[in-house]
Amino acid sequence: MRPVAWNIVKLGVTVTIIAFLFARVNLTVMAQHLAQANLALLLLALALYFSAILLGALKWHVLVRAQGLNVSLGELLAFSLVGLFFGNLLPSNVGGDVVRAYGLVRVTDRAEAAAISVLVDRLMGLVAWFGAAVLMAVLMAIVFTGGGQLEQIEIAIVIAAVLFIGAAALLFSRRVSQYGKWIFNYAPFSRVQPMAQRVFQALQVYRHSYGALAASVALSGSIVLVTTLAWYTVGVAVGVTASLFYFFVFNPLIAVLLLIPISFNGLGPKEAMTVFFFGLVGVPGEVALSMSLIFHLLIVLTSLPGGLLWWRGKKAGAPSSLGPL
C-alpha cells in the first residue's frame, strides 16, 4: 500500500473509533469533566511527562557514549524532541527514530553507530515495557476473573514478549551473523558489505557494554514509572477515583498494544483501550475518555518544542539542530 493511502487508512481508523466512542458516552457529562479538570494537577502531569522525555534522552546518551560518540545530553534532547514532533504530530512517513538518527549522524558522521544507538535505545525501552506488561498481565489474571477478551489480551502480550525477546537475541547473536555472511558473496549485496560490517561492529559494542545496557533498562523502567504517575495525575484531575495500582496495571498494557500502528499516532485505539480497561474497575466511560483525550493533549504539548527546534534549525541550517529534513 502506498504511504499516502496508508496514512488515509490510519486516519480513517482514528476517526471511526473516536466517533464510535463519542456515540456511546454522554457528551454533556464528558464536557463537564473536561471543563472541571484541575488545572494545577494537569500542569503537574505535563511536567511529569516532560521529565519522562528527559529520562529518555539520558537513556540514549548512555548508549551513545558506549559507541564512543561525543555528543552532549542537550543535543540528544533536542534530537529527541524533534523526533517526538514528527512522530506524534505529523502524518509523516519520517518516523521519530529516523529523525533522531538523522540528527545524530549530522553531528558525528558515523551513520551506522548512530543508527544502532537509536535501535538499541528502542529495544531497551521495549524490554522495560514488555517486562512490565507481562507482569501486569499476570496480575490481571489474578485480580480479574472471567472475560474472554482479557484472556486473549494476556495471551497476545505474552506471545509478543516472547517473540520480541527471541528477535532481539538473534539480532545480537554472532553465530547468526556468521551464518548470514554468505549473502555478501552475491551481487548486489556485495556492494553493501562494508556498511554491513560497520553495522555489525556497532552492534557488537553493546555485547560487552553491560553497564550501559543495565543503565538503559533501569532508565526505561523509570520512564514506565513516571508516565504512569502522569496518567494517574491526569486521572485524579478529571475525577477518576481508581487506585494508583490500576494505573500501574493498565499503562504498560495499553502502551504495548499501541505498538500496532493502525491509527493516527495511537489516537483512537488508546481511547478505546482506556475506556475498556478502566471500565473494569468502575470508571465511567465519559471519565475514562476525558482522561485519555487530555493525556493525548499532554503528549502533543510536549512535542511542540521539537517543532520549534526543527523550524529554527531549518532556517539556520545548523547541523546540531537537524536542519531541513
What are 200-240's pLDDT values in tens digits?
677 778 878 889 999 999 999 999 999 999 999 999 999 99
Query: pLDDT band for position 151 (50/70/90)?
Result: confident
Mean pLDDT across 138-154: 73
d(CA 81, CA 310): 9
Burial of 41 (0-12, 13-18, 19+ CB in 10 A): middle
| CB contact set of 132 (below 8 Å; sequence gap of 6+) | 221, 224, 252
Least confident of 84-98, 181-195, 233-247: 181-195
Percent of all residues in the chain with a pLDDT value above 70, rounded to a whole number: 83
Residue 242 vs residue 322, higher pLDDT: 242
Range of the domain at 36: 3-321
d(CA 316, CA 305): 16
Closest C-alpha among 302, 311, 248, 323 to residue 45: 302
Mean pLDDT across 75-81: 95
Tell me the whole-structure pTM to 2 decimals: 0.86
Domain count, the chain: 1
Residue 149 confidence (pLDDT) above 60:
yes
pLDDT of residue 136: 87
pLDDT of residue 93: 45
Mean pLDDT across 286-310: 93
pLDDT of residue 279: 92
